[in-house]
Amino acid sequence: MTDQVTTAESDVPEIPGKPTSASRTTLSHIMTQSDTNLLGTVHGGVIMKLVDDAAGAVAGRHSGGPAVTASMDEMVFLEPVRVGDLIHVKAQVNWTGRTSMEVGVRVLAERWNESTPPTQVGSAYLVFAAVDGDGRPRRVPPVRPETERDRRRCQEAQIRRTHRLARRRAIKELREKRAAEGYQD
């Protein structure tokens, strides 16, 4: 992983931007008995897979080709999901770097056969890297936020990006320091 935000190279032509709405996606699924954990509610891993699927579709659509999950952070489960819940997994590109994208995901649930408004049951932020046929990172079009909400999400994604890089750098430096001091853990 690169350790700093890379600026666009001057010798490479700019890729035209793409609006957020061009790749925004919702994946819906009814939860059944086979999705439950030992407590009888829906297994968190089932929801995480749907989150990764929806985010992957968004990343592929935005980048115009294959994209792989590089990281998933801040997966939050707000309320238990039950058998018979209709889940809506809403995903959009919040921010783009040179070859990576942060995708924000919200998970909503409603009873499958009732017309009550859905409630938010979870959220997550994932980083996807666009890759070429050999699995090497390739450049992505810059995302063009369209609404004030899109712009806020983009600003928040930049904060998360800065923190991810700073945390990674700090841990790397600590490990190097400990190795130099002779620790072999």
Ligand X SMILES: CC(=O)SCCNC(=O)CCNC(=O)[C@H](O)C(C)(C)COP(=O)(O)OP(=O)(O)OC[C@H]1O[C@@H](n2cnc3c(N)ncnc32)[C@H](O)[C@@H]1OP(=O)(O)O
Given candidates 104, 122, 137, 141, which one binds ligand X under the rule CB under 6 A?
Answer: 137
Which residues, other chains included, contact 62 with Cβ-Cβ below 8 Å and sequence gap of 6+?
Answer: 18, 22, 23, 93, 96, 101, 140, 141, 143
Binding-site string for ligand X from residue 22 to residue 51, where x marks contact by CB under 6 A and - marks none = ------------------------------
The closest alpha carbon to 8, from 141, 130, 102, belongs to 141
Nearer to ligand X, 54 or 109 (CB): 54
Binding-site string for ligand X from residue 59 to residue 78, where x marks contact by CB under 6 A and - marks none = ---------xxxx-------
Q: How far is the CB of 135 from ligand X (least distance, A)?
A: 6
Return the structure tokens found at 17: 């931007």
Residue 162 engages ligand X in binding (rule: CB under 6 A): no
For ligand X, the binding residues in 97-136 under the rule CB under 6 A are 97-100, 127, 129, 131, 135
For ligand X, the binding residues in 82-101 under the rule CB under 6 A are 97-100
In our burial notation (b when 16+ CB lie closer than 10 A, e otherwise), range 120-148 reads: ebbbbbbbbbbbeeeeebbbbbbbbbeee
**Residues linked to residue 24 through DSSP beta bridges, in sequence order:** none
Helix (H, G, I), strand (E, B) or coil at 145: coil
Q: How far is the CB of 115 from ligand X (least distance, A)?
A: 34
Q: How far is the CB of 106 from ligand X (least distance, A)?
A: 19
Task: Give me the residue label for tokens 């783009």.
Answer: 96
Cβ neighbours of 3 (radius 10 Å)? 10
Residue 158 engages ligand X in binding (rule: CB under 6 A): no
Sites of contact with ligand X (CB under 6 A): 1-2, 6, 52, 56, 68-71, 97-100, 127, 129, 131, 135, 137, 164
